[in-house]
Structure 1
Amino acid sequence: MLSEAFAQGKSILHRLDPRLRIVFATLFSFLLAVSMGFPTLLAGLTLSVILVLTSGLPLKDVAKRLTTINIFNILLFLVLPITFAPPPAFLLGPVACSREGLLLAARITLKSNAILMVFIALIATMSIATLGHGLNRLRMPRKIVYLLLIAYRYVFVLEQEYQRLSTAIRVRGFVPGTNLHTYKTYAYLFGMLLVRALARAERVYQSMLCRGFKGKFYCIHQFSFSSTDRIWAGYLLLTLILLGGMEWLMPTLF
């Protein structure tokens, strides 16, 4: 299962009310996603870095999670300047590059890194169970919350089941190749995985009914806003207002 390594910590962000973290991360992501001005994007990136530092997370582990998305961003810098529609602004050897394409790649890079770091600092610092209960307290549809919690729990069970089936066919001498036998074998494997998943889902549902499940999960821990949560709520709200004001006043800078 996922280790949820970032969920274990004693920083002030770990102790903030999960509902506050979920709401701010969502609003921040939407605001930055629609922003076009570089001052707004740079300010958002700076805020996300501050939150990561405040969370006390290992910077090496954070950098590893940023690596994948930045590999994609490097590809954007290679592709967008030479494929963007406006006339080329400069030449890079025999290749004509567009200034607008380069700026678009820069915007995407700033947005993706800022949004990902905010989610690492605010959302990854809580467990999946806490996230589910926080969404439930925010009036998220109950079925969606239950799907999140149950899917997180049983996707690893299905992965273990797949590993057992894969080991079984290898023990029987199966060697994958580009032939009809290989395609049939993988089709049978995934078909058997689906059958076993359905059977396990029925058993889990029956066991939940035997334990008194009536369509609702109960949480012993009750969320409540403390004075620290109120202070941070005001601070985070102020940052959203400032970012929105920057985008409104300086939307086309650069």
Structure 2
Amino acid sequence: MATAGGGLGTVVTPPVLAALLPVLGLPGTLRAAGLVSAGVLVACVPACPGRPRPAGRRTPAAGRPSAGPGWRLLAAATVGLTAAMFVPFTHLPGYAAAHGTDPAGGAALVALAGAASLTGRLLAVPAQARWGAWAVHRAGAAVFCGAFALWATAAGPTGLTAFAVVFGLGHGAYLGVAAAVVLQLHGTDALALRIGSLHAATAVGGLVGPAAAGVAADLTGSPSAAVAVGAALGVAGCAVLAAVRPTAVTGRPAGSAGAAQPPRCRSIA
């Protein structure tokens, strides 16, 4: 539920920036966005209370995430999938403009994807309770990567709207249970460090995906090249994610003493 805030931010920000561009210009809009973002981050700090340490109880030292093949596959899949995930948020407005949509319409498409992502995160809560976080995580990845087929064939507002909705729903489900996946597969063992490692992999994907898509679009002179790069990254990420097995990630067979229990994670294997 807490991750739904990210989807809400994507709903609000694109229309606001589109409205500021004619007034402040690009440099002024970027400065304003930077100042507001910095202010929001500072304001959020007091809203994150620390957990008091129980008196008389030792806090175990944080462990090191497993460096086994399963963990490396999960991290690699995260890089590929998030690289694909960021491509629409950066290149969808340009693609829409090339097909006759004005800047406000392009911003609306990104906001629509954000609204669908918010919905996907909320729907992931009951889905996780029924099928488990691991199954929902993989299903969300498959949905948002499959949505690139809609984008590649879209030539007008209807097709782009359908893509934004389907992509956003899968994107929200994938991200909404990411932390729960780590908890399901590993329990609380070095939980913060493991989640932090996957966030680092997400940051790498966020750098690689939009940049690679932009280079491809510039070299070919066609925004469709960005779609192809995003789709290729998504397919590669899904292929790696499909190769991850819970026993390979945890290093212990499911059901053994101390092992994390992912009883439903094979439902979409």
Greater C-alpha radius of gyration: 1
Q: For this structure pair, what is the TM-score category when the shorter chain's length is used for normalisation? A: under 0.3
More helix by share: 2
**TM-score, reference length from structure 2:** 0.23
